[in-house]
Structure 1
Amino acid sequence: MKKQFGVFAILSLMVTSFYAQSDSSETGYYLLKNDILLEGVVSFKSQSDSENRSGTKSSTYTINPKAGYFIADDLALGLDLAYTFGELEIEGEDKQEDKTIMGGVFLRYYFFNLGKRFKIYGELGGGYINAETGSLSNPIKSSGFQGNLTLGLNYFIKENIAISFVLADLIKYKTITYEERFFDGFQLSDEETVDTLNADLNVFNNFFGGARFGVMFKF
């Protein structure tokens, strides 16, 4: 169902774009030096018994607002904020929660135009992460740094309004330090730092499972 909806949405936008471009009076949409962008992207994922082991339910949502300033044509520098909340429920066990907040900066470059309305970009971002993971009674606290290279596109429905599609994080690097854990005065674990590097270069194979959507305003 998710894939069918995604295909329908993309095809609808492409058909709309084709007919809109047939109007010779339309000159295209531009992102110029000194323009300002405000963008909000959201994602939600939910799984239940049919996709996990019996008695397991999980859900995750992310809110990601951004504000940027075009320091040159098609090149924007800005601030990035993201909040992620997830829940995991396993029958007979305590509920697990994951709360993560990230603040950082990004550099976005629009490198290819598909017609007059589609604009494809690459984005380099990085920021500080603070998180709590685990049971409500004894969460695991962590903090660190995240860097990522992202591929996305905007579809302009008007000169100053576009639909945003974040296709994939092509490369993502994290270095996270987990704090010491104590329970009733006893130390459960030592401080630990974990580095991870993920590459997701097969973008078109996982688009419908990993895409995130939102709206961008240009001023």
Structure 2
Amino acid sequence: MKTLKLFILLAFIYTNANAQLNKGNWLVGGSGEYSSRNSKFDNGADTKIDRITIKPNIGYFIKERFALGATLGYTNQTIFTTYGVGLFTRYYFLEPEKTFNLFAQVHFDIVHVVSDIEGGARSNTSNFYGVRAGQVVFFNSAVGLEFAIEYERGNLPTGVANNIKAVIGFQIHLEKK
């Protein structure tokens, strides 16, 4: 009985999914990121940082399956808080009628970090750029759940950071009227 219900649910999702990846439509959503970063600084120090980030975004499809957009970012960890703003481009590889689609995204972010460590509060601004690739599962014509892997490189005032992230995102595709 459970198998039959699952089959009916999947058939319903598959027959009713039709993503809005058309020119002129909007992409609104965001992602949550878990990252584990290893950094090597100019002074020889190595650090490992685990963090969670919330990153809302908005985009606009300038061509079918190709969107440009902007993001905000917020990270809070024990020793620092990060605020960011960025730009991205995203391309979906399969036709809009597909329930599952593959995408690739390139982004550039400017990030401001405020840390409260021994010796007082400090802040700095860095830039990050990266590539994200993943799969989106459309539940209907507008809502998709994304699973992706991202590589990101950051130019910090004291060194370079290389990040590999597992990302879960949620997007709503709004049809133009």
Q: What band does the TM-score fall into relative to the shorter chain?
A: 0.7 to 0.9
Q: TM-score, normalised by structure 2?
A: 0.73
Q: Contact 1:83 / 1:99 at 8 angstroms: preserved in 2?
A: yes
- The structural deviation recorded for 1:218 is 1.1
How far apart, CA to CA, are the structure 1 residues paired with 2:131 and 2:111?
16
Q: How many residues align?
A: 156
Aligned mates of 2:8, 2:53 — CA distance in 1:
29
**1:79-158 equivalent positions in 2, closer than 5 A:** 79-87=70-78, 97-112=79-94, 116-135=98-117, 138-158=120-140
More strand by share: 2
State, as a whole percentage, how many aligned pairs show the same letter: 21
* RCO higher in structure (CA 8 A, sep ≥6): 2
* Pairing of 1:168-183 with structure 2 (within 5 A): 168-170=149-151, 172-177=152-157
Q: Identify the match of residue 29 of structure 1 among 12, 16, 19.
A: 19
Alpha carbon RMSD of aligned pairs, Å? 3.0
Unaligned runs of 5+ in 1: 1-13, 46-57, 88-96, 178-192, 201-209
SS in 1 for 2:98: coil
Q: The residue matched to 2:11 in structure 1 has which SS? A: helix
Distance 2:75 2:161 in 1: 19
TM-score, structure 1 normalization:
0.61
Q: Classify 1:59/1:144 alpha carbon distance in 2 versus 1 (closer, same or farther; 3 Å).
A: closer
Gaps of 5+ in 2: 1-5, 36-48
Who wins on radius of gyration, i.e. which is larger? 1
Deviation of residue 81 (structure 1)? 1.0
Give yes or no for the alignment of 1:195 onto 2:175: no
Secondary structure at 1:33 match in 2: coil
**One-letter amino acid of the structure 1 residue matched with residue 82 of structure 2:** T
- Paired residue secondary structure (1:158): coil
